[in-house]
Amino acid sequence: EDDNIVDYWHTSIEKRKTSLHPAVSAPNEETSQSAASSLELKQSKSGESRSQKPESLETAFELISRKGLKKGIDYLIAKNLLTRSPKHVSSFLRVHQSSIDPVILGEYLGEGGIDGIDKDYWNLIRFYYVRAVSFVGMNIEKALRHFLTNCGFRLPGEAQRID
């Protein structure tokens, strides 16, 4: 009886796929060849950049430790390993937070801005960075402790920078 239910849903899903995307459900020889050639092209391009990527990341982390996080991120943007969007910058910071000094990361996240657009940019970086933190199952005290100790940054010492 369970097999009948599974078959029913499998058939139903396949019918839905066919009605929504006829090209996906029944690929012909041309589409499979073009997909294979585009996959090979992507792999060859990524193969070239894969050897350069670790070197660029190492250089970026050296810049971060010597000259600050802004310089390191600007370097990654110049090398096309990162875009300037707040979402991508904050994702990079979250993924590589263990490689970045918490004080430097705290200072970077504490940056403000000069005008309205610049302030909005920095607020979005902070928003996306904090949005990735999970507070599920925590009361307010535990959540605050988690946020201040386990999120990869330290608050700047100056009260003016903590807004």
Task: At 1, list the tokens.
Answer: 């009886």
Whether 58 is a known active-site residue: answer no
Contact 88, 125 (CB under 8 A): no
Find the catalytic residue in 29, 30, 141, 158: 158
* CA separation, residue 85 to residues 13, 111, 130, 144 (Å): 37, 16, 16, 27
Task: At 131, list the tokens.
Answer: 């949005």
Task: At 21, list the tokens.
Answer: 């995307």
Q: Which residues of 116-143 are buried (b: 16+ CB within 10 A; e: fewer)?
A: eeeeebbeebbebbeeeeeeeeeeeeee
Catalytic site positions: 158
